[in-house]
Structure 1
Amino acid sequence: MSNPHHHDFASANQAFFDKHAHQADHRPKAAEMAESVCKAILEAYPFDKESTMVLDYACGTGIVARGLAAHCKSLLGVDISQGMVDEFNKGIREHAIPAGQMRAVRAELKGEESELEGAKFDVVLCSLAYHHIEDVVAVTRTLALFLKPGGSLIVVDFPTMDVAVVPQEVVHSIAHKSGISESTIKEAYDGAGLGDFHQVFFKGPKTPMHPEDIFLAKGVKL
C-alpha cells in the first residue's frame, strides 16, 4: 500500500475518515481521550453557556464537542468528511442536544468572508487533528479569520513523536505527521497574528494509536 504522505493530505484524510467514521467513537479509550481533552479546554477558556459561540474545526464525530455542549451557547462543527459530519449530527440526536444549539456541516474552509454565512466565533477549536493537516501555518491563518476580536484559537494535539514508535498501520493508512513541535505551533500562531500565546501539556490515556502526552495551545485575536 502506498504511503498517504505522498498524496494530498486533505483528500487522503477525507477518504479514510469517510470510510471509518462509524467506528471512530468505538476506538480503544476514545471516551477517556475525549474527556481529558474537554477538561483541558474548559480549563483554558472561561466558557459562558449564555454567550460563548464555538467553531469546532475538523470536528470528527463530535465526541469532544458533546462534552462542551452544556458550557456554550452554540457550537458549529466543520469537517471535510461527510461521514464524520453524519456521525456528529447523529450523535446530537442520540444525546438529545437541541439542533439549534449544535450542528455540523461539511466544508473545507478557505477563509472567505462568505463562508459559514459570515459568522464569527468566541472560540475556534481544533482537537487532535492538526497532525493530519499538511500546512498548519496556512490553516491557522484561516481559522483566525473566523474569530471575533478577543476570541481564542485553541489547538489540542500531540507533541512531536519519534516516528519509529508510530504504529505502521497508522503510517500506511492515514495522512498524518508525527505530532506538532512547539516551534511549529508557535510559528503558526504568530503567522496568524494571534497574541498572548501559551502552551500547556497534559496526559491523556495511552492508546495503540496515540501517545499519552498532549498539548493545548491558545492564542487571542488582537
Structure 2
Amino acid sequence: MSNHKDTVDANLKLFNEELSAKYQQREAHNILPIYFIQHLLNFDLKAPRRTLDESSIILGDPDLPCNGLTIEKDLPDPKTFISEHPDTPFKPGAKILDFACGPGMVTELLAPYLKSSTKKSELIGMDINPIFLKSFEERAEKVNDENLTMKSYEYDILDDSIQDDLKKFENYFDVIVCTISYHHIYNYEEVTKKLVTFLKKSGWLFIVDFYNEDVELKNAPANAAVQHMGGLKTDKLNYVLGDYSGLKNVSSAREFRTWVWNDESFICSHMNESVLQDFKAGKLRSREDKDMVEYLVPVSLIYAVGQKE
C-alpha cells in the first residue's frame, strides 16, 4: 500500500455491510472481546510483564461453545470490582475512548464497570466505518443512562480536514483502548502520536493486537487491508509509544494465547509459519460453519501499554 488513505479505503471496502453482520456472529469475534476485557480489567499496571513462558498456556476449551467462556463467569463482578481493584483506571467517572471500536463489542463490555448513581462516565467509540458504527449505536441504546454516555464518532483522525473538530478531545480521556486494529493501520506511528494528544495527564493507552514470534524474525508482506501480517513487533511498539509519542511506563509483551476457529483468509494473513505449514498439510481440525470452513488455531495477543507524562 502506498499511503494511509489507500489503507482506509481498502478496509472500508473489506468491512462492508455483509461482512459486518457476519463479523458479529462469528464465534471468534465473541470470544476475543471477553478475553480482552478480562485481561484489561485485571491488568496490574505496577507488576512486571509476563514472560513468554508465563503466557504460553493456551486458554479455553475449543470443544465448548465460546471456549467455555461466559461474561458472568469470566469477567469480574462489577459490584465488587472497584473495591478489589482500587487502582484501576476503568472506574466510574472515567472518560474512555475505544479507538477503531468496530461494532462496539468490546466497548459494551466495559459499560457495567463505569455505571454509577453519583458519577458521570463516558464511553466514546471512534471508527472510520459507518456500518460498524450503526451497530455500535444500537449497543449504546442498551447501556446509556443519566450517568453513562456511550456514543460513537466516524473519524479518520489523520484526516487534515477534521483536525479543528478533533480539538475537543485534546487532554480529554483517562483511558484509550484499541483492540485488534493496529495491524490494519498503515501509519500507526502517526495514529499513536495523535491518540496521545487525546489523553489526560497520567492517562493510559492500551493497544491489544495479534502477535506471533515469527514477526520478530522477519518482515512479512502486507496486503490491502492487513498491513502488518502476523502481528506487531514488541520493540517497534515500545519505540512508537515511548520515544516517538512521548509516553512513559511503556511496555509490550504477549499477554495470553487462546484457541479460535477461523477461516483460511485469517490463517494466511495472521498466523505463524508453523500453523501455516500445518494448514497446508491438512493437519488442522476443521468444521463447517454456515457458509465457510473454519480451522482451529492458537492465537497470541500482545498488550502494549503507555502512560502520558
Shift of residue 162 of structure 1?
Answer: 4.9
Deviations 1:95-121 (A, max 9, x none): x21165211121111394631633510
Letter in 2 for 1:207: W
> What secondary structure, in the 3-state scheme, does the structure 1 residue paired with 2:13 have?
helix
- Correspondence for 1:66: 108
Q: Percent identity?
A: 25
Number of aligned residues: 209
Contact 1:16–1:174 under 8 Å retained in 2: yes
TM-score, with length taken from structure 2: 0.62
Letter in 1 for 2:25: H
Letter in 2 for 1:16: L
- Correspondence for 1:98: 144
Shift of residue 177 of structure 1?
Answer: 1.6
Residue 173 of structure 2: which of 117, 121, 129 is its match? 121
Q: 1:207 to 1:113 in 2, by over 3 A?
A: farther
TM-score, with length taken from structure 1: 0.84
> What secondary structure, in the 3-state scheme, does the structure 1 residue paired with 2:103 have?
coil
Shift of residue 186 of structure 1?
Answer: 0.9
- Correspondence for 2:208: 156
Shift of residue 30 of structure 1?
Answer: 1.6
Q: Is 1:76 paired with 2:75?
A: no
Shift of residue 62 of structure 1?
Answer: 0.6
Letter in 2 for 1:174: A
Contact 1:16–1:173 under 8 Å retained in 2: no
- Correspondence for 1:216: 303
Shift of residue 42 of structure 1?
Answer: 1.1
> What secondary structure, in the 3-state scheme, does the structure 1 residue paired with 2:228 have?
coil
- Correspondence for 2:134: 86
Shift of residue 160 of structure 1?
Answer: 4.4
Q: How does 1:127-166 map to 2 (within 5 A)?
A: 127-160=179-212, 162=214
- Correspondence for 1:18: 16
- Correspondence for 2:256: 202
- Correspondence for 1:33: 32
Contact 2:20–2:131 under 8 Å retained in 1: yes
Letter in 2 for 1:138: E
> What secondary structure, in the 3-state scheme, does the structure 1 residue paired with 2:153 have?
strand
Shift of residue 29 of structure 1?
Answer: 2.2
- Correspondence for 2:83: none
Letter in 2 for 1:11: D
Shift of residue 184 of structure 1?
Answer: 1.5
Contact 1:15–1:81 under 8 Å retained in 2: no
Letter in 1 for 2:261: T
Letter in 1 for 2:144: P
Output the CA distance in 2 between the equivalents of 1:202 and 1:151.
24
Q: Is 1:56 paired with 2:104?
A: no
Output the CA distance in 2 between the equivalents of 1:38 and 1:88.
17
Letter in 2 for 1:89: E
- Correspondence for 1:174: 225
Shift of residue 76 of structure 1?
Answer: 0.3
Deviations 1:117-151 (A, max 9, x none): 33510001110000000111111101101000000
Letter in 2 for 1:140: T
Q: 1:113 to 1:207 in 2, by over 3 A?
A: farther
Output the CA distance in 2 between the equivalents of 1:187 and 1:118.
24
Shift of residue 22 of structure 1?
Answer: 2.0
Output the CA distance in 1 between the equivalents of 2:140 and 2:208.
22
Larger radius of gyration: 2
- Name the Cα RMSD after superposition: 2.3
